[in-house]
Amino acid sequence: MAMNDLPILSALRTKMQWHQERQRVLSENVANSDTPNFRPRDLVEPTFDRAGSTTGGGVGSLAMMQTSGTHMTASGAPETFDNDRGKSGFQTRPAGNAVNLEDQMLKVSANQMDYAAVTSLYSKSLHLLKTAIGKG
Protein backbone atom coordinates (compact mmCIF):
# COMPACT_ATOMS: atom_id res chain seq x y z
CA MET A 1 0.00 0.00 0.00
CA ALA A 2 1.38 3.39 -0.96
CA MET A 3 1.50 6.10 1.70
CA ASN A 4 -0.85 8.24 -0.38
CA ASP A 5 -3.50 5.50 -0.23
CA LEU A 6 -3.88 5.70 3.55
CA PRO A 7 -7.42 6.80 4.50
CA ILE A 8 -6.25 9.61 6.81
CA LEU A 9 -4.06 11.14 4.12
CA SER A 10 -6.83 10.78 1.56
CA ALA A 11 -9.28 12.52 3.91
CA LEU A 12 -6.79 15.34 4.53
CA ARG A 13 -6.23 15.79 0.79
CA THR A 14 -10.00 15.91 0.22
CA LYS A 15 -10.33 18.53 2.96
CA MET A 16 -7.52 20.64 1.42
CA GLN A 17 -9.20 20.45 -2.00
CA TRP A 18 -12.49 21.49 -0.43
CA HIS A 19 -10.87 24.53 1.21
CA GLN A 20 -9.28 25.51 -2.10
CA GLU A 21 -12.62 25.30 -3.90
CA ARG A 22 -14.38 27.16 -1.07
CA GLN A 23 -11.81 29.96 -1.35
CA ARG A 24 -12.67 30.27 -5.05
CA VAL A 25 -16.41 30.43 -4.33
CA LEU A 26 -15.97 33.00 -1.55
CA SER A 27 -13.74 35.15 -3.77
CA GLU A 28 -16.49 35.10 -6.42
CA ASN A 29 -18.93 36.32 -3.78
CA VAL A 30 -16.62 39.23 -2.92
CA ALA A 31 -15.97 40.01 -6.60
CA ASN A 32 -19.72 40.17 -7.28
CA SER A 33 -20.57 42.30 -4.25
CA ASP A 34 -21.93 45.05 -6.53
CA THR A 35 -23.60 42.82 -9.12
CA PRO A 36 -27.40 43.29 -9.14
CA ASN A 37 -29.44 40.27 -8.00
CA PHE A 38 -26.32 38.28 -7.04
CA ARG A 39 -26.76 35.85 -4.16
CA PRO A 40 -23.71 34.66 -2.18
CA ARG A 41 -22.87 30.98 -2.33
CA ASP A 42 -20.94 28.63 -0.09
CA LEU A 43 -19.95 24.98 -0.19
CA VAL A 44 -21.25 22.21 2.03
CA GLU A 45 -18.42 20.85 4.15
CA PRO A 46 -17.49 17.23 3.40
CA THR A 47 -18.16 14.61 6.05
CA PHE A 48 -16.10 11.50 6.64
CA ASP A 49 -16.90 8.08 8.06
CA ARG A 50 -14.70 6.26 10.58
CA ALA A 51 -12.55 4.82 7.78
CA GLY A 52 -11.82 8.30 6.41
CA SER A 53 -13.99 7.96 3.30
CA THR A 54 -16.09 10.90 2.16
CA THR A 55 -19.76 10.36 2.95
CA GLY A 56 -21.20 13.45 1.26
CA GLY A 57 -20.50 17.00 0.20
CA GLY A 58 -16.96 16.20 -0.91
CA VAL A 59 -15.02 17.72 -3.78
CA GLY A 60 -15.79 14.75 -6.01
CA SER A 61 -19.53 15.45 -5.79
CA LEU A 62 -19.75 19.18 -6.39
CA ALA A 63 -23.01 19.48 -8.27
CA MET A 64 -24.48 22.90 -8.95
CA MET A 65 -27.63 23.97 -7.21
CA GLN A 66 -30.73 24.32 -9.37
CA THR A 67 -31.58 28.03 -9.31
CA SER A 68 -34.24 27.91 -12.02
CA GLY A 69 -36.94 25.45 -12.96
CA THR A 70 -35.44 25.25 -16.45
CA HIS A 71 -32.09 23.95 -15.19
CA MET A 72 -31.35 20.25 -15.51
CA THR A 73 -30.35 18.32 -12.37
CA ALA A 74 -28.84 14.92 -11.82
CA SER A 75 -31.37 12.64 -10.20
CA GLY A 76 -30.74 12.30 -6.50
CA ALA A 77 -27.79 14.70 -6.51
CA PRO A 78 -27.55 16.65 -3.26
CA GLU A 79 -27.38 20.42 -3.30
CA THR A 80 -23.79 21.34 -2.56
CA PHE A 81 -24.07 25.10 -2.85
CA ASP A 82 -25.90 26.83 -0.06
CA ASN A 83 -27.48 30.15 -0.92
CA ASP A 84 -27.72 32.48 2.03
CA ARG A 85 -31.50 32.90 1.63
CA GLY A 86 -31.52 35.54 4.35
CA LYS A 87 -30.17 33.25 7.08
CA SER A 88 -27.35 35.64 7.92
CA GLY A 89 -29.74 38.29 9.19
CA PHE A 90 -28.57 40.92 6.71
CA GLN A 91 -30.93 42.59 4.32
CA THR A 92 -30.79 42.43 0.57
CA ARG A 93 -29.94 45.77 -1.07
CA PRO A 94 -32.46 47.45 -3.41
CA ALA A 95 -30.53 46.17 -6.46
CA GLY A 96 -31.18 42.63 -5.22
CA ASN A 97 -27.60 41.92 -4.14
CA ALA A 98 -27.36 39.97 -0.88
CA VAL A 99 -23.55 39.88 -0.47
CA ASN A 100 -22.34 41.17 2.89
CA LEU A 101 -18.62 41.90 2.57
CA GLU A 102 -17.93 41.63 6.30
CA ASP A 103 -19.57 38.21 6.46
CA GLN A 104 -17.70 37.02 3.36
CA MET A 105 -14.34 38.26 4.66
CA LEU A 106 -14.90 36.46 7.97
CA LYS A 107 -15.57 33.26 6.03
CA VAL A 108 -12.44 33.82 3.90
CA SER A 109 -10.20 34.29 6.93
CA ALA A 110 -11.69 31.28 8.73
CA ASN A 111 -11.20 29.21 5.57
CA GLN A 112 -7.55 30.30 5.33
CA MET A 113 -6.89 29.33 8.96
CA ASP A 114 -8.60 25.95 8.53
CA TYR A 115 -6.61 25.29 5.34
CA ALA A 116 -3.36 26.12 7.13
CA ALA A 117 -4.27 23.71 9.94
CA VAL A 118 -5.09 20.89 7.51
CA THR A 119 -1.89 21.37 5.49
CA SER A 120 0.17 21.41 8.68
CA LEU A 121 -1.49 18.19 9.86
CA TYR A 122 -0.93 16.60 6.44
CA SER A 123 2.77 17.47 6.32
CA LYS A 124 3.31 16.33 9.93
CA SER A 125 1.53 13.05 9.19
CA LEU A 126 3.78 12.45 6.19
CA HIS A 127 6.86 13.25 8.24
CA LEU A 128 5.72 10.88 11.01
CA LEU A 129 5.14 8.06 8.51
CA LYS A 130 8.54 8.62 6.89
CA THR A 131 10.19 8.54 10.32
CA ALA A 132 8.36 5.33 11.20
CA ILE A 133 9.63 3.54 8.09
CA GLY A 134 13.15 4.92 8.54
CA LYS A 135 13.25 7.38 5.63
CA GLY A 136 12.74 10.56 7.61
- CA–CA dist 115, 80 (Å, integer): 19
Identify the pLDDT of residue 64. Answer: 55
Predicted local distance difference test score (pLDDT) of residue 70: 72
Q: Do residues 26 and 104 touch, judged by C-beta distance below 8 A?
A: yes
**Given this model, what pLDDT does residue 61 score?**
46
Q: Give 43's strand partners.
A: 81
What is the enclosing helix (H) or strand (E) of 112?
helix 101-132
Under DSSP, is residue 5 helix (H, G, I), strand (E, B) or coil? helix
Residues 25, 62: contact at Cβ < 8 Å? no
The pair phi, psi for residue 62, each rounded to 5°, is: -85, 85
pTM over 0.75: no
From residue 133, give the alpha-carbon distance in Å to each of 98, 127, 128: 53, 10, 9
Residue 58 is predicted with a pLDDT of 45
pLDDT of residue 66: 64
Q: Quote the pLDDT of residue 52.
A: 65
pLDDT average per 10 residues of sequence, the chain (136 residues): 79 94 96 91 86 60 61 52 51 80 95 97 92 83
